Structure 1
């Protein structure tokens, strides 16, 4: 009987030990609800993120149901990733739940049209950092790395040609932004005219990606990722994972 108890205890300890060894390093909620333009590249993005989660050993849950943005469900995650969201997608209780999530020290990642989301919610604008204003047609332009200390930028040359739907942004909504990538407007035509909105570009400095510490938590945003083919690009995937990893762990910065 005594031997059986020892064996049972040993088996239990081994089970707990094995579970700890196999546990994923963090959890990410991917949220892609749209109330405006719906990017077809969401599907490619989700496929790439699922492969990324397997490759980097983290948990990923993809949802478009805004009712899951609540305090109880968010407690399961370390990062909320807004993948190509657009428009007014959260009600007031859901907004409060996301605010509390960030204030508890958790992370946010926004991809491309996440900046085209929740214009009437000032806190969210500050979380993302800037709001989308307009974009010209898809063009090739010169992309530059302006801060290579952030994780995930190892696969970008200092400058390179990149084809994208180049977003023009409004003013800074947070004073805490640290910029990572910029695009040279002299290498493409930034002008756009939609009738209700016009764009002339942002001038000599046109940011494309940034991060910040905000309201107790962490926020990373990249304007890249409009086209589905981007999600099979090694440089972009590593850029995106670098943002997710930092937002989840506050680690990865080069010294």
Structure 2
């Protein structure tokens, strides 16, 4: 009796197992690289300063959109025309640049406001970080959007003073969810809230932080009921991200820091944020405050 068919069958089974094992290893490696990039990014830096002709008698705003970690391409690109329109309506000078060379002491002091448009990862050299910190502490203003607070920056001063809360995770299974953000009653800052919508209905990737920014002295501008969404960030072997921030889940906040000002919004994962007229109005009104 011949055993050749059985041997051939075993040979094919071994090949199939080998192919499956290889695919699993490749998937695991790709996933590991992706997770590393999300958490840490692959840093690269630029040191050449651009040539800029600054206009007279206009507020000057820098829109910075560099991403060394997760790249929110849709959100980044949708924000650009939205800020262009806001700048045009208010007769502001908007300069868009995606390289770190602009973060030098001489050019930074020319800007009334620096916006980090879904900036992720370590994007500045140590000297550029120092110049940016000096800019803020001496009266500069900062606006951070979505990934600007995602925990990939690994810069303690930035997190503590400009963002005010440590990022934990975002929902995984229910990635994008609808929520209603409520304007908070801020009695000592009515000049900030008087022209803002009372609520914002929006679908987004809702960031979960380890604590409220109020603990760092920030004022929460909008918050939602965190119990009305699924906040779980658990996946595969990650089982410690099933928590949320409870009924008072902050989304947008601000603070005066020394002579400067800072504002952060966790919204803006995709283009939907910049199609929401209520949210764009919040950005415009807060920009007015920031450039004062």
- TM score, norm. by length of structure 2: 0.72
Q: Does 1:32 align with 2:65?
A: yes
Alignment equivalent of 2:177, drawn from 128, 136, 139:
139
Q: Distance in 2 between matches of 1:184 and 1:72?
A: 44
Separation of aligned partners in 2, 1:133 and 1:142: 21
Contact 1:208 1:222 in 2 (8 A): yes
Q: CA RMSD in A?
A: 2.1
**CA distance, structure 2, for counterparts of residue 99 and residue 147 of structure 1:** 31
Instruction: Output the CA distance in 2 between the equivalents of 1:172 and 1:187.
Output: 18
Give the TM-score, by structure 1 length: 0.82
Structure 1 residues not aligned, in runs of 5+: 1-18, 250-255
Cα deviation for residue 152 of structure 1 reads 6.2
**Which among 228, 236, 244 is matched to residue 279 of structure 2?**
236
Give the aligned partner of residue 193 of structure 1.
Answer: 234
Change (3 A) 1:199 1:85: farther
Correspondence 1:226 to 2:261: no
Instruction: Name which of 191, 201, 224 aligns with 1:183.
Output: 224
| Native 8 Å contact 1:39 1:84 kept in 2 | yes
Residue 62 of structure 1: CA displacement?
Answer: 0.9
Matches of 2:133 and 2:191, distance apart in 1: 25
Structure 1 runs of 4+ aligned residues shifted over 3 Å read 150-155, 194-197
Q: 2:258 aligns with which of 206, 212, 215?
A: 215
Work out whether 1:112 is the aligned partner of 2:150: no
Q: Distance in 2 between matches of 1:160 and 1:172?
A: 20
What are the within-5 Å matches in structure 2 for residues 5-44 of structure 1? 23-24=57-58, 26-40=59-73, 41-44=75-78
* Offset at residue 228 of structure 1 (A): 0.5
Cα contact 2:195–2:285 (8 A) shared by 1: no
Q: In structure 2, how many angstroms separate the alpha carbons of the residues matched to 1:180 and 1:72?
A: 33
- The structural deviation recorded for 1:171 is 2.8
How far apart, in 1, do the equivalents of 2:111 and 2:284 lie? 16
Report what 1:162 is aligned to: 202
For residue 118 of structure 2, the aligned residue among 84, 87, 106 is 84
Q: Residues 148-195 of structure 1, C-alpha deviation per residue, up to 9 Å, x if partnerless?
A: 6353674523x4532111110123576220011111122221112144
Bigger fraction of residues in strand: 1
State the alpha-carbon separation in 1 of the partners of residues 201 and 99 from structure 2.
37
How many residues of Structure 1 are paired with residues of Structure 2 in the alignment? 227
Unaligned 5+ runs, structure 2 = 1-54
For the pair shown, which has the larger CA radius of gyration, 1 or 2? 2
